[in-house]
Structure 1
Amino acid sequence: MKKYYNAIFLLVFISLIAKTGSSSDRFVLIFFGEEQGALAPCGCFEGQLGGISRRDTLLKDYETQGISAIAVSTGDLIKSPERQEEIKMEYLLAAMKEMGCILHNLGEKDFEIGLQALSFASQTNTIDFLCGNIEINSPFPLKYKKYLLKELPGFNIPLKIAFLSIISESLIKGHLLDFIRVYDPVQSLTPVINQIKGKADLIVLISHAPMEESVEIAETFPEIGLVITGHGIEDPIESLMYVNNTPLLSHGTRGRYVAVADYVVKSGSIRNTSVDIVPLDDKYAASEKMQVLLKQYQQTLKEEDLLSNLPKLPLEDGNFYIGSLACGTCHKKIHAHWSNTSHQKAYTTLSDSGQQYDPECIRCHTVGFGYVSGFANYDTNRNLAHVGCESCHGAGGNHIKNITDSYGKVNENRCLECHNFDHSPKFQYPKYWEKIKHPKEIPEGMPENTHGG
């Protein structure tokens, strides 16, 4: 009996050794970037892609499957140097921290927020900032690395990934040249790659550059195992290509897709099994943590009262907004028709979703926002809420002072200011016009040819 148990023990021991010797495990690299301030789909139409909430769910899905997911940000968190974009950067970095993102590659849009704000962000965040081919001349110290060597946790043997980073000189323009010097990517990468040879099991390049520049780099350095690139690609699905055996792909813009590289660890080496561009559609449920963060973002916009504090442009010839109710004094039949259209409920769609303090949304859901005498906030300009008469026909102040002047001609271009591809991709002018066009009406005392239709 003793011999029997000894034989069993020996077989189990040999089996364990064999399993260890041919160990196999899996991890994925998840890349996203060029959000340009897109925290979440605006909700203007069904089928929108993207958002930090769905991205977090995708990462959690891998975690649930027992697959290690490494999140990487490739640059351009925001789109302009405005206060709302600065707030967005704060919340995007907070979201990335919650997701366990290991690094953020610096893009030209990130620099546009200003060195003081960027310096503060780099000093106060646990996420490593990266850029391998720049030199910054600024009184505000920017904390960043030339590359990151990251050890993969949870494997039987030590495994390391080297993340390299470059930004194209073609993207650094205007005032950015005053404090940023960009070096040739190949010259910058050469010593780094020589330094990490033998230390990294996989080399990944985050190339904040047009696709053609990244192809040249991949051709120069066959040691690089993966390149994430393709600056400004709106539809990244067809972006995947190979340079020799190195995959190059893009995640696109506005956070609508992520690029996923799938790897298996077997017998002490890393092997790529697939690369893919994944759309963040509604099959990824809303993440509770990210939904809380998005509500906090809207609360910040409310507390700072950006609606009232944003600069306002003057109207020409002393014109001013009067509100749809004033228009209805003469145009009773038209006002009654407007009251039964979706335009009359435009502000309500924002207040119902908690976005009524968001300047980006308010612009197309109220009258005259961004102009003197236009909508500033609901308490003081309730008469300018919703998409009203003047949203289409223009400010009516001068018209009520002289009703015989020609006023208010409308064409498709006015509609396209809000019904653009991002917010209304299915917009067709003839079809949509039929839904909102008002009945013909000649106000009493007004010649027929003085009023636009």
Structure 2
Amino acid sequence: MRALLAVALVAASLVGCARKDPAPKPAEADASAAPTARPASAAKPAAPTEGAVLFVSADTRGYLGPCGCSENMRGGIARAAAQVRTARQGSLPVLYVDGGNSLFGERRLKPGQVPQEERKAQALADAMRQMGLAVRATGPLDDTQGVDFRKGLGLPELAPGQVKLFPAGAREVGVVAATTAAQLAQASAQAREQGADFVVGLLDVTLDVAQQAVEQPGLKADVVVATRTATEFSGEQNRLVRSAVPVVALQSKGRSLLRVDLAYAPQPGPFTLQKGQDDLEREANALEQRAALLDKDINLPGTDPRLKALKQRKRDELVARRQALLNAPPVAPAGVNAFTLRFVPLESSLPSDAEALAVVTAYDADVGKMNLAWAKAHGQDCPAPAPGRPGFVGNEPCRTCHEDAFPVWEKSKHHHAWETLEQVGKQFHLNCVGCHVTGWEQAGGVCRLDKVTGREDVGCESCHGPGSEHAEAPGTDNIIGSPGERVCITCHNAENSPHFDFATYLPRIVGPGHGKP
């Protein structure tokens, strides 16, 4: 444990308080950057290596990175690429595999979404190629725009029931894809027959179904990754089930990677999930919990900037210490082929790969122009409100009678919601705009990116509802009044505002003339 602590302290001194995704200079690609399959009959290398490193992503759901609405949000393909590139700078061979359900976030797209989502899928494919993707399985979310579109991206794919073997130093790693327990058992057995020493199963089911699948007889996999989350909530955490064949479910939307470290004995043989990692895991989990508590304080509206900066530095230090523990090479028992399974949360203070970051930046620049052009050419106004129902009128009619409420609103982040998008060039991104304008895609609201003027920011009607009737005839019977938590969590949800607490946040947006006498 002293050695691990020493590694952690060194890493903390190097990483320090880095913020805003520091991007290192691209390293020279080595021979392992784009591994290729080799027939099982080919001779294995004469000089054995000590082991290998595997990285697995899955269930990315079309996310190039987090939305950025809150501080310290996890995720991003550029951060994932940096982890893979850093591992390749070591002496061990590295394989990167994707489990599928990664290219899109929905099964069906509205016409206005198509340009953005196809461009995003292309950017994800480009970044995966840069990461030296060995192979990927596919899932329903990959075929949102059809099989031809998916295949046109040119990524190395593994169809359900298929097997591919990859050289990993002195051993062969087999990767199999499946959609059922029977298919997984058959494909894993085939991988063994072809000479695979270690087998990774990519199973396109949820975690609970995968747990049942590994109980089936005939399974020859060493680890199974469940590549589909059941609900939004189930995708919020990394999960490892330590059954006879361990089952893994990754945090969705590209927020974590699975790292598999293989340690080779002098002679080939079965691999055993390494024991004795409990102390390391407990320490890493404790550091994560301490960082999460600081995250909550950092995201609290109205926090003093100096205190916020102090807590941010401490939080980044904890992340660096945890990352050092996760990257420390495991020490396998002598004479045993062993492996470890570790999750790598892609925290905001971790570096981004420069080449992958350039892919994301190019996407950001392109997609705004594409969406705006589509809106001008094909956009349609929102339908009028149903007879007898109010429509949206914007903030100015409210000011006439509620002038004393505006100073409070103007000091809040709601007043600067549109500006925050403009600062990062995302004011025309369909994933973002809905929570930064008033009345998005609602009857009598705004449905076109080229007609947002006058509806920017989270205005009065975002919380109190459409106000045309109230503006024409003010009264208590034609306005919502004080909105409840149900209204707030439409945008302050677990993904965009993970630390939101209604009772804590509400006092930050009320004041004299706006919720207080």
TM over 0.5: yes
Q: Tell me the residue number matched to 2:165.
A: 149
Q: Tell me the residue number matched to 1:255.
A: 254
Q: Label 1:48 to 1:197 Cα distance change in 2 as closer, same or farther (>3 A).
A: same
Task: Please show how residues 44-63 of structure 1 align to structure 2 within 5 Å.
Answer: 44-63=69-88
Task: Please show how residues 237-386 of structure 1 align to structure 2 within 5 Å.
Answer: 237-243=238-244, 246-267=245-266, 269=268, 271-305=337-371, 308=375, 312=382, 314-317=384-387, 319-376=390-447, 380-386=451-457
Looking at structure 2, the residues matched to 335 and 126 of structure 1 have their Cα atoms a distance apart, in angstroms, of 53
Asked if 1 retains the 8 angstrom alpha-carbon contact of 2:176 and 2:184, the reply is no
Q: How far has the Cα of 1:436 moved from its partner?
A: 1.2
In structure 2, the residue corresponding to 1:384 is in which secondary structure? coil
Asked if 1 retains the 8 angstrom alpha-carbon contact of 2:55 and 2:259, the reply is yes
Among 94, 97, 100, the residue aligned to 1:75: 100
| Deviation by residue 1:112-166 (Cα, 9 ceiling, x = unmatched) | x143xx323214414224322xxxxxxxxxxxxx2222234xx3x6x43221111
Looking at structure 2, the residues matched to 58 and 194 of structure 1 have their Cα atoms a distance apart, in angstroms, of 31
Looking at structure 1, the residues matched to 398 and 489 of structure 2 have their Cα atoms a distance apart, in angstroms, of 23
Q: How far has the Cα of 1:240 moved from its partner?
A: 3.4
Q: Label 1:294 to 1:387 Cα distance change in 2 as closer, same or farther (>3 A).
A: same
Q: Tell me the residue number matched to 1:104.
A: 136
Looking at structure 2, the residues matched to 96 and 195 of structure 1 have their Cα atoms a distance apart, in angstroms, of 24
Asked if 1 retains the 8 angstrom alpha-carbon contact of 2:237 and 2:250, the reply is yes
Task: Confirm whether residue 193 of structure 1 aligns to residue 218 of structure 2.
Answer: no
Q: Tell me the residue number matched to 2:318.
A: none
Q: How far has the Cα of 1:198 moved from its partner?
A: 4.4
Looking at structure 2, the residues matched to 192 and 314 of structure 1 have their Cα atoms a distance apart, in angstroms, of 57
Among 501, 504, 507, the residue aligned to 1:434: 507
Looking at structure 2, the residues matched to 166 and 343 of structure 1 have their Cα atoms a distance apart, in angstroms, of 46
Q: Which runs of 5+ in 1 are unaligned?
A: 1-19, 133-145, 169-184, 442-450
Q: How far has the Cα of 1:202 moved from its partner?
A: 2.3
Asked if 2 retains the 8 angstrom alpha-carbon contact of 1:73 and 1:103, the reply is yes
Asked if 2 retains the 8 angstrom alpha-carbon contact of 1:103 and 1:130, the reply is no
Looking at structure 1, the residues matched to 415 and 187 of structure 2 have their Cα atoms a distance apart, in angstroms, of 62
Looking at structure 2, the residues matched to 412 and 188 of structure 1 have their Cα atoms a distance apart, in angstroms, of 44
Looking at structure 2, the residues matched to 195 and 73 of structure 1 have their Cα atoms a distance apart, in angstroms, of 18
In structure 2, the residue corresponding to 1:30 is in which secondary structure? strand
Q: Label 1:125 to 1:187 Cα distance change in 2 as closer, same or farther (>3 A).
A: closer
Task: Confirm whether residue 36 of structure 1 aligns to residue 61 of structure 2.
Answer: yes
| Deviation by residue 1:87-123 (Cα, 9 ceiling, x = unmatched) | 3322222211111112221112223x143xx323214
Q: Which runs of 5+ in 2 are unaligned?
A: 1-44, 270-336
Task: Confirm whether residue 160 of structure 1 aligns to residue 189 of structure 2.
Answer: no
Asked if 1 retains the 8 angstrom alpha-carbon contact of 2:392 and 2:439, the reply is yes
Q: What fraction of aligned residue pairs are identical, expressed as a percent?
A: 22
Looking at structure 2, the residues matched to 125 and 324 of structure 1 have their Cα atoms a distance apart, in angstroms, of 49
Q: How far has the Cα of 1:452 moved from its partner?
A: 12
Among 122, 125, 142, the residue aligned to 1:93: 125
Looking at structure 2, the residues matched to 100 and 75 of structure 1 have their Cα atoms a distance apart, in angstroms, of 16
| Deviation by residue 1:285-335 (Cα, 9 ceiling, x = unmatched) | 122222222222222321222683566455343633221123213322122
| Deviation by residue 1:13-35 (Cα, 9 ceiling, x = unmatched) | xxxxxxx9883333111111111
Looking at structure 2, the residues matched to 74 and 424 of structure 1 have their Cα atoms a distance apart, in angstroms, of 27
Q: How far has the Cα of 1:373 moved from its partner?
A: 4.5
Asked if 1 retains the 8 angstrom alpha-carbon contact of 2:199 and 2:223, the reply is yes
| Deviation by residue 1:166-222 (Cα, 9 ceiling, x = unmatched) | 125xxxxxxxxxxxxxxxx41574277247514322222111113343344434235
Looking at structure 2, the residues matched to 272 and 316 of structure 1 have their Cα atoms a distance apart, in angstroms, of 65
Looking at structure 2, the residues matched to 390 and 66 of structure 1 have their Cα atoms a distance apart, in angstroms, of 59
Looking at structure 1, the residues matched to 383 and 352 of structure 2 have their Cα atoms a distance apart, in angstroms, of 38
Q: Give the number of the structure whose alpha-carbon radius of gyration is greater.
A: 1
In structure 2, the residue corresponding to 1:269 is in which secondary structure? coil
Q: Tell me the residue number matched to 1:173.
A: none
Q: Label 1:76 to 1:238 Cα distance change in 2 as closer, same or farther (>3 A).
A: closer
Letter in 2 for 1:100: G
Q: How far has the Cα of 1:368 moved from its partner?
A: 1.1
Task: Please show how residues 210-229 of structure 1 align to structure 2 within 5 Å.
Answer: 210-219=206-215, 220-229=217-226
Give the TM-score of the pair, scaled to structure 2: 0.68
Asked if 2 retains the 8 angstrom alpha-carbon contact of 1:50 and 1:256, the reply is yes
* Greater relative contact order structure (CA < 8 Å, 6+ sep): 2
Aligned residues: CA RMSD: 2.9
Looking at structure 2, the residues matched to 92 and 296 of structure 1 have their Cα atoms a distance apart, in angstroms, of 12
Letter in 1 for 2:501: Q
Q: Tell me the residue number matched to 2:36.
A: none
Q: Label 1:316 to 1:411 Cα distance change in 2 as closer, same or farther (>3 A).
A: farther
Q: Label 1:434 to 1:195 Cα distance change in 2 as closer, same or farther (>3 A).
A: closer
Asked if 2 retains the 8 angstrom alpha-carbon contact of 1:406 and 1:452, the reply is no
Q: Tell me the residue number matched to 2:37.
A: none
In structure 1, the residue corresponding to 2:235 is in which secondary structure? coil
In structure 1, the residue corresponding to 2:261 is in which secondary structure? strand
Task: Confirm whether residue 414 of structure 1 aligns to residue 440 of structure 2.
Answer: no
Asked if 2 retains the 8 angstrom alpha-carbon contact of 1:407 and 1:452, the reply is no
Q: Label 1:266 to 1:314 Cα distance change in 2 as closer, same or farther (>3 A).
A: farther
Q: Tell me the residue number matched to 2:464.
A: 393
Looking at structure 1, the residues matched to 187 and 418 of structure 2 have their Cα atoms a distance apart, in angstroms, of 57
Looking at structure 1, the residues matched to 383 and 137 of structure 2 have their Cα atoms a distance apart, in angstroms, of 36
Asked if 1 retains the 8 angstrom alpha-carbon contact of 2:206 and 2:226, the reply is yes
